[in-house]
Chain A
């Protein structure tokens, strides 16, 4: 049987295969080395002292007892902190934020580092940190949205505008036959990657070597270089494995920078790893929001307006905030769209990108609001969404690069059995008498690209080496990117060595925005293509080659042979071409980034539909999400096993958002009282049942050369609203805050 090269999941012999993680055995047997697993001769341990107030000043630091504790080498404070050459207010990289590195005595949030203790052992450093006594002049902390004045937002994150308007919202409101005006709140959430932030830092003269988990190796090197006044090429950053990142590990954070500073000052390698409690503060979070959403629809249920205002928290010294209202752009075909953001400065660590930043919080509210209006219009929630299906991007009228959302609705609804859903709330019960509810939500996530570079080296024996500094946070970059790389030269996986996770390699860009496979994968594909192009040029000059004279042909590689594209019979072995040319290797390079033109021309998103079933004890009000079915269209799927795993994970994070995650501040001290994983809840296995992911076929000719969108974050969108809507359907109660708590239903 001839190989079928047309089906999207088999563009090569590797891509499209559900290969298991290549690093899986290393991880489950404990041989994978995470940053804090590294040690050095003469290693110093550093532990920082967190502020116990959230706003004010440190008026005195008593380091006497700490300094004399056996094993303690020194205590770094604002008074004696060695010089940090970089301008702390500068933004050397796209995602740079101000950090707290003992630059002054001001306390901006609880948990901010106010001193660093360096010691011969972790135990001595920990006890030294405990022995440092701070005296504060404390002011009343602001930790709630109403604790401070709001301000107009120019750009909530990533340079997006604070306000976006399409059409005439006021006319849309006026034209509405049906409308809703609802206000929702979402709680502060913390990333809590399983692996805490950590660094082992060592200086060799003016060269810095770091073992630290990074979602953006090249960018991190630039940022460290800026801070320490050295060229970026003097920074070596190794990050072969990350125990999760969720957006929090793209840029240096204060505690890690202090450890690097300590290493420079002491002339010894220094290790610092955050405790779980310390993960609630200086390493980013998802800020709380309050969102007012007003929807209008005409008599037939066509949206006349989506008017979405988000008030979101940021810190007192930075600007990043949850761009929640932007989730209402680009999805439903309303005549008018308005997304507005306001900010409020609180005494909290700066929020940052976390698991669909903005999209998750905004989608939760938009999808609940859509159901609120569907009820008033008296339409099935799915029918209401289909009635407002956007064939082109609302507002801009741009075509979608591809959009198989209708298929997602169809396949998801069929798998879930949505057609049997009674319209009335509170009418379904299971055999044990539990309330049963069904809800749905649309999932949407942009398909951006960053910039990446890669190098491909074909060796004389027909094997190849591919290199790019990609980041595997658990999503499977070691595997999926290697599949793309091998396919670019038509080689089986075992003939390709894939090197990654090291800053000396060509930049793999940022593992964020659900864009890593598209971006780093695109660069690897291009690097392989560059090798093929060079091989073709060589072969065309080789009289002994079957490809002799094929000067201007397009080439492709399959099973270790170079073909003229479309000519299955005319080919030459890769290794033969090299050996005839007397070459031991051939190096190609590639890069990937999206062009301005296509970016402006098309709206590019991954799409999906999520269907949720909840069961709720009618008296005790304990809730369980018993089924989640998500159907997603995300372009070409490189590795179905890993993609499905990411989508399952995204839906679980959606469940977590809907029912569990919430950091609770003590309003008097500003401290978070549930800063551990016993009390900051995320779902456990027993909470996760009946998950099903459907990946819907989607060809995209525009999004990038490989047709890849992203699967990393989309599944959290849609899911939160679907669960909120299912709870409404089960109980008749519309809860307008997340997480939804048991006591809300009593």
Chain B
């Protein structure tokens, strides 16, 4: 591993002041350290932010929303009573991600900042415009089977692998950042960027900016009764999604008053289309409606590499997630969170 300077600032201001273009902020380290080991990333300076004060708290804000510090660990957040009440599908998404050990280490801020799992991004010997601007894209025509079907460009076919961000995008979460020129707030929906010609610009963060908190608006809780996260994958646990979907509905007397949808693992950001959501508003939930919504959400989808099957799978996943959301959020998190397999499938070893 390349030698680097290791700093442990005690305030956000010091952390931001310590930043240089060759520096990286370190949270739980579950993504950055792996990439440093493979040589895909090689910061000269690593700024450990885990000692910054007050970033490991979950607070209820004055308007009734939740403010979640960037250093809250994924496993702590997934079991937080306030989050479970306000946004159970966020907990479901968190628990569907990674493994228990990783969730214990991974932070909220790090989850937002995690890089694509495109193997060509992670392989320092491969050409990757996202990692080295202008170097090319070996993923195109390569052996990666989980590349984007929406929003990709000639320069990049990466997907964002986060589970967590998918329901957050649907629920209108906001990201508080601190930077050299002060603090500001970015909508999570706009946080991750589509690649275009500049895939190296992965997020909306300006140089040196640091995620300090995530906010969930109070209105998110109005979807709590009808919201589900569904993650489709080949291994039942410890695998990234092939396709995932967050579906949140507000229901009134059997009718949908408002719907929010986001798709995961299909694009470089959680995929949302306002027009697809609009189809849900005021409609009675049925499969024909859900199919129309899926069609609208996936409009313009195109395979990159050999991922045509993902378009079909995404359509089916949207429909199922909507069916599950319409049926209502279960009282308790299911034993296999976000899985299409329910409790009746859980058997004990003989």
A681 and B319 within 8 A (CB): no
A660 and B235 within 8 A (CB): yes
Selected contact of B237 from candidates A669, A678, A687, A690, CB within 8 Å: A687
* B341 closest partner in A (C-beta): A624
Which applies to chain B's interface (DSSP): helix, strand, loop or mixed?
Answer: loop
Contacts of B124 in A (CB 8 A): 130
Contacts of A679 in B (CB 8 A): 117, 119
Selected contact of A742 from candidates B38, B242, B336, CB within 8 Å: B242
A668-B142, A673-B144 known; A691 and B350 CB under 8 Å?
Answer: yes
Bound: A741/B348 CA distance, A? 25
Interface centre among B312, B340, B349, by most chain A C-beta atoms within 10 angstroms, is B340
B345 and A52 within 8 A (CB): no
Interface centre among B232, B233, B341, by most chain A C-beta atoms within 10 angstroms, is B341
Bound: A434/B342 CA distance, A? 10
B349 and A620 within 8 A (CB): no
* B230 closest partner in A (C-beta): A620
Does residue B85 face the partner (Cβ distance < 8 Å to A)? Answer: no
Bound: A601/B345 CA distance, A? 49
Q: Hey, what's the 0/1 contact readout for A228-264 against B, CB within 8 Å counting as 1?
A: 0000000000000000000000000000000000000
Q: B1-27: which have CB < 8 Å to A? A: 1-3
Does residue B145 face the partner (Cβ distance < 8 Å to A)? Answer: yes
A622-B233, A746-B313 known; A684 and B238 CB under 8 Å?
Answer: yes
B309 and A686 within 8 A (CB): no
B142 and A620 within 8 A (CB): no
Cβ of B204 to closest chain A Cβ, rounded Å: 27
B119 and A673 within 8 A (CB): yes
Does residue A615 face the partner (Cβ distance < 8 Å to B)? Answer: yes
Interface centre among B119, B123, B237, by most chain A C-beta atoms within 10 angstroms, is B119
Bound: A629/B347 CA distance, A? 13
Q: Hey, what's the 0/1 contact readout for B220-247 against A, CB within 8 Å counting as 1?
A: 0000000000001111111110100000
B345 and A742 within 8 A (CB): no
Does residue A146 face the partner (Cβ distance < 8 Å to B)? Answer: no
B3 and A659 within 8 A (CB): no
Selected contact of A685 from candidates B237, B239, B242, B317, CB within 8 Å: B237
Q: A642-693: which have CB < 8 Å to B? A: 659-660, 664-669, 671, 673-674, 678-679, 681, 683-692
A622 and B340 within 8 A (CB): yes
Q: Hey, what's the 0/1 contact readout for B119-138 against A, CB within 8 Å counting as 1?
A: 11001111000000000001
Does residue A430 face the partner (Cβ distance < 8 Å to B)? Answer: yes
Cβ of B77 to closest chain A Cβ, rounded Å: 21
- Interface residue tally for chain A (C-beta within 8 Å): 50
Contacts of B342 in A (CB 8 A): 432
Q: B201-230: which have CB < 8 Å to A? A: none
Bound: A620/B345 CA distance, A? 16
B345 and A624 within 8 A (CB): yes
Bound: A615/B344 CA distance, A? 11
Does residue B320 face the partner (Cβ distance < 8 Å to A)? Answer: yes
Selected contact of A691 from candidates B126, B242, B346, B349, CB within 8 Å: B349
A52 and B233 within 8 A (CB): no
Does residue A617 face the partner (Cβ distance < 8 Å to B)? Answer: yes
B242 and A690 within 8 A (CB): no
* B146 closest partner in A (C-beta): A679
B235 and A619 within 8 A (CB): no
A668-B141, A687-B235 known; A620 and B344 CB under 8 Å?
Answer: no
Cβ of B232 to closest chain A Cβ, rounded Å: 5
Q: Hey, what's the 0/1 contact readout for A595-638 against B, CB within 8 Å counting as 1?
A: 00000000000000000000101011111101101000000000
B120 and A130 within 8 A (CB): no
Bound: A620/B342 CA distance, A? 14
Cβ of A239 to closest chain B Cβ, rounded Å: 27
B142 and A430 within 8 A (CB): no
Contacts of B141 in A (CB 8 A): 668
A684 and B313 within 8 A (CB): no
Contacts of B39 in A (CB 8 A): 130
A432-B345, A691-B349 known; A617 and B125 CB under 8 Å?
Answer: no
B2 and A130 within 8 A (CB): yes
B344 and A673 within 8 A (CB): no
Bound: A19/B298 CA distance, A? 58
Q: B130-160: which have CB < 8 Å to A? A: 138, 141-145
Q: Hey, what's the 0/1 contact readout for B295-306 against A, CB within 8 Å counting as 1?
A: 000000000000
Bound: A687/B346 CA distance, A? 10
Bound: A692/B350 CA distance, A? 5
Cβ of A261 to closest chain B Cβ, rounded Å: 25
Cβ of B334 to closest chain A Cβ, rounded Å: 12
B2 and A127 within 8 A (CB): yes
Does residue A568 face the partner (Cβ distance < 8 Å to B)? Answer: no
A620 and B317 within 8 A (CB): yes
* A129 closest partner in B (C-beta): B39
Selected contact of B125 from candidates A52, A615, A674, A681, CB within 8 Å: A52
Q: Hey, what's the 0/1 contact readout for B310-346 against A, CB within 8 Å counting as 1?
A: 0011001101100000000000000010011110111
* A628 closest partner in B (C-beta): B350
Contacts of B125 in A (CB 8 A): 52, 671
Bound: A679/B138 CA distance, A? 18
A743 and B313 within 8 A (CB): yes
Q: A460-515: which have CB < 8 Å to B? A: none
Cβ of B325 to closest chain A Cβ, rounded Å: 15
Does residue A123 face the partner (Cβ distance < 8 Å to B)? Answer: yes
Contacts of A620 in B (CB 8 A): 232, 313, 316-317, 320, 340
A689 and B235 within 8 A (CB): no
A684 and B237 within 8 A (CB): yes
Bound: A684/B236 CA distance, A? 7
B350 and A673 within 8 A (CB): no
Q: Hey, what's the 0/1 contact readout for A712-746 against B, CB within 8 Å counting as 1?
A: 00000000000000000000000000000111001
Cβ of A610 to closest chain B Cβ, rounded Å: 14
A687 and B242 within 8 A (CB): no
Selected contact of A660 from candidates B3, B234, B347, CB within 8 Å: B234
A681 and B239 within 8 A (CB): yes
Contacts of B233 in A (CB 8 A): 622, 742
Contacts of B317 in A (CB 8 A): 620
A620-B317, A668-B142, A689-B349 known; A123 and B236 CB under 8 Å?
Answer: no
Interface centre among B138, B235, B339, by most chain A C-beta atoms within 10 angstroms, is B235
Extra 8 A-B pairs, beta carbons < 8 Å, given A617-B340, A622-B232, A681-B234: A620-B317, A626-B345, A664-B145, A666-B143, A671-B123, A679-B117, A684-B237, A685-B237
Chain A residues packing against B (C-beta within 8 Å) = 52, 70, 123, 126-127, 130, 277, 430-432, 434, 615, 617, 619-624, 626-627, 629, 659-660, 664-669, 671, 673-674, 678-679, 681, 683-692, 741-743, 746
15 contacts between A and B (CB under 8 A): A130-B2, A432-B342, A434-B345, A617-B340, A624-B345, A626-B347, A665-B143, A673-B142, A673-B143, A681-B239, A684-B238, A689-B346, A691-B349, A743-B309, A746-B312
